[in-house]
Chain A
Amino acid sequence: MNRHKLRAAAILVSVVLCFFVISPMLIQGTSAYIIGQSHICRANFYTEQPESSMPESSVPESSVESPPTGDGSDKMPVMVMLLFSMLTIAAIWFSQHHDTENQMN
């Protein structure tokens, strides 16, 4: 009985891993082109005389930055996988503990 439960748990963990971790990694990998982005170039329009009429100019510099990484939602699959794994382990432990108690009774 325990062996069946363990097998089911292993399958569950594998499915979770595939869905939430490996698949996003594969999808992300297919679109990882080399990119570059510049600083923002800004034109400020005003309707009143500012205190300083001279425009601010920044020191020119180049940069290579990674594209926006989002709001942290890309960490979700890992979190979900960890949660599922913990739940699976807890379920296995509980079932084993329950079986042991039944045998003792």
Chain B
Amino acid sequence: MNRKALITGAAAAALLTTCLLVPSFAFLSAKSPKVVNHFVSALIAVDLKETLVDPETGKKTGTKPEVYENTYLTVAGRTVDKDPTPIVMKNSTDCYIYVGVKNEYPDIFSIEDVNAEWTFVEDKDNKLEEGVTVYKYNAAVAKSDSDQQLSAVFEHVRISENFDGKFHGASETDSAIEARAFAVQSENTAAVSDGYAIDYFSSSEVFDKN
């Protein structure tokens, strides 16, 4: 009985102490405003367009990159205009820009006049399919509140004078050169971005779908 009374007394004393101390602490304490860190996921949006070209002459008829597709009559020895131009959309995170080009017939079509702002990326481990080349924009593209049009990767494609009028693939009459831009964040990737881009363009799916 005495033990029960002792426990009850102790509990009552603890309760009373709590009731007395908590309001006292309330007067003595203060708290700072709440700090909330909002983490918003970053994005990179990049587009790749070309200036419209006259199919018969292979010369530009447009004034700015605005189409995804051009058509050319293949004439041996002719040099045609082709200017794949990346556009980094506004508010994209700081990034490196790469453009991969798939040329099914490198012996017939040769890329000419690569602009000085672009550098050929060496495929040291031979990961890329035959005919695929990758170029890197020399500087990282900083975030901007407006779209940023970069310089064209190259300006012309030359058709070999040895072209005999037939392609030696699935189709004898048609061929295509495809290009796609790829962007990767520039923060903390300076040492690995080239390899990352090569890995990306080595995937067989990159040029299989739009």
Residue positions of A touching B, CB distance < 8 A:
31, 33-50, 53-58, 60-64, 67-68
Contact B70 A55 (CB under 8 A): yes
Contact A39 B48 (CB under 8 A): yes
Residues of A within 8 A of B173 (CB): 46-48
Q: Per-position contact with A for B73-100: 1 when CB-CB < 8 Å, else 0?
A: 1100000001010110100110100000
List the 8 closest pairs (A to B, CB-CB), nearest first. A36-B44, A38-B48, A38-B181, A57-B67, A68-B205, A55-B71, A36-B183, A34-B185
Number of residues from B at the complex interface, CB < 8 A: 59
Q: Which of the residues B68, B74, B180 comes within 8 Å of A47, measured between beta carbons?
A: B74
Residue positions of B touching A, CB distance < 8 A:
42-50, 52-53, 55-56, 66-74, 82, 84, 86-87, 89, 92-93, 95, 109, 157, 159, 165-167, 172-185, 189, 196, 200, 203, 205-207, 209-210
Q: Which of the residues B70, B181, B189, B205 comes within 8 Å of A44, measured between beta carbons?
A: B70
Contact B47 A68 (CB under 8 A): no
Contact B52 A57 (CB under 8 A): yes
Shortest distance between the CB of B140 and any CB in chain A (Å): 13
Contact B68 A42 (CB under 8 A): yes
Q: Which of the residues A31, A36, A54, A58 comes within 8 Å of B68, measured between beta carbons?
A: A58
Q: Which of the residues A35, A48, A60, A68 comes within 8 Å of B66, measured between beta carbons?
A: A60
Q: Which of the residues B175, B185, B200, B210 comes within 8 Å of A45, measured between beta carbons?
A: B175
Question: Complex Cα distance A33/B172, Å?
Answer: 41
Q: Which of the residues A36, A40, A53, A55 comes within 8 Å of B46, measured between beta carbons?
A: A36
Contact B48 A57 (CB under 8 A): no
Contact A39 B71 (CB under 8 A): no
Contact A35 B49 (CB under 8 A): no
A-B contact pairs, 7 of them (CB 8 A): A36-B92, A40-B48, A41-B180, A45-B72, A46-B174, A57-B68, A61-B47
